[in-house]
Structure 1
Amino acid sequence: MNVLSFAKARYTTKAFDPSRKIPAEQFAQLRELLRHSPSSVNSQPWHFVVAASDEAKARVAKGTQPGYAYNESKILNASHVIVLCARTAFDEAHLAALLEQEDKDGRFATPEAKAGQHNGRSGYVNLHRYDHKDTQHWMEKQVYLALGTLLLGAAALEIDACPMEGFDPRLLDAELGLRARGLTSVVVVGLGYRTAEDFNAKLPKSRLSAEAVFTEI
């Protein structure tokens, strides 16, 4: 596998073919990719809302009105849409759930190792909570790690994707009942297959030169 070829081939799809659907087995892989995304101290401060039916996608599309109507068709015509959400608080219940899942998965050889993991993760959480005072921003950074995993994984499966920040999170959170669940929408991703009318597919990829973005020390 040449992973670079997938990175070079992928692009932000601007027009999806509504008649083409992602096979269930491939979409299951994308779900697992999201679940296995990396995060700082394995914090996993995310939740993913999946919309596959026309009715569900229409609910997500409500978040594009009125100021982001240009994204509506990208949501409605995609095969699947995923709303990547961040937690609105990093509470003790989430810390406990993470620790117990790690214990269940066999990550701790001794009780001391379990306690060490808890203390270490709690230390980072408290650093962002009390010292940096940027817990929400820190959690959203982890969501973008998951987004990167999803986009590269989709490209490897030859599935097109369109990440979108152009929506009103207040409207979308209300429509999906996210805030009552301690969540907030961060980015929406349409997934599916491009149409021949997708102008962006015909354009060359453009990136700054290696000299501009790398420094050897």
Structure 2
Amino acid sequence: MNILDLIQKRYTAKKYNADKAIPQEKIEDLKEILRLTPSSINIQPWKFTFVQNPEIKAKLALVSMHNAEKINQAQLLIVFSVADDLDAFQNVVENEFPQARKNWYNQIKASMPEADLKIWLAQQVY
């Protein structure tokens, strides 16, 4: 079964089998799927961190509310985070976005203070 078939079933795992390995090919497929996933206005103000190191997962589990067991059991943890360096993100906007998307983002950026922009960007990553 491929990742698309699994996603279409909308299955939510409640417990992970720590002994079952995820093939590297599937992890690479997932990275590409996430890279291609659009945000609400198609600016993708996020980054994805793939964590397999048990020590790092254990540290993240400590701050995960009620998901510590799942984080520690899973072979792979994907952390979704917002681009927090606005200057670096602006550089991406200017160098990689089509003009219409640049205009749209810059219009949003101009309409609010920096603190509100950071909140708005964070809301694109849930």
Residue 83 of structure 1 aligns to a residue in which SS? strand
Partner of 2:108: 124
| Equivalent of 1:140 in 102, 107, 122 | 122
Superposition TM-score, scaled by structure 2 size? 0.76
Q: Per-residue displacement from partner, 1:50-105 (whole Å, max 9, x unpaired)?
A: 111222321221213xxx3x41110011120011111346x343122233124xxx
Are 1:37 and 2:37 counterparts? yes
Q: Using CA pairs below 8 Å that are at least 6 residues apart, which structure has the higher relative contact order? A: 1
Superposition TM-score, scaled by structure 1 size? 0.48
Structure 1 runs not aligned, ≥5 long: 108-113, 145-217
Q: Per-residue displacement from partner, 1:185-209 (whole Å, max 9, x unpaired)?
A: xxxxxxxxxxxxxxxxxxxxxxxxx
- Give the 3 Å change call, closer, same or farther, for CA 18–59 of structure 1 in structure 2: same
Residue 32 of structure 1 aligns to a residue in which SS? helix
Partner of 2:96: 101
| Equivalent of 2:80 in 75, 81, 84 | 84
* Cα offset, 1:44, TM superposition: 2.0
Matched AA of 1:46: W
Are 1:15 and 2:10 counterparts? no
CA distance in 2, matches of 1:4, 1:50: 22
Are 1:62 and 2:62 counterparts? yes
- Worse-superposed segment, 18-27 or 55-64: 55-64
Partner of 2:24: 24
| Contact 2:46–2:125, Cα closer than 8 Å, also in 1 | yes
CA distance in 2, matches of 1:5, 1:37: 16
CA distance in 2, matches of 1:118, 1:10: 33
* Cα offset, 1:120, TM superposition: 3.2
- Give the 3 Å change call, closer, same or farther, for CA 4–25 of structure 1 in structure 2: closer
Residue 84 of structure 1 aligns to a residue in which SS? strand
Aligned residues: 122
- Give the 3 Å change call, closer, same or farther, for CA 117–78 of structure 1 in structure 2: closer
Are 1:75 and 2:71 counterparts? yes
- Give the 3 Å change call, closer, same or farther, for CA 4–49 of structure 1 in structure 2: closer
* Cα offset, 1:6, TM superposition: 4.5
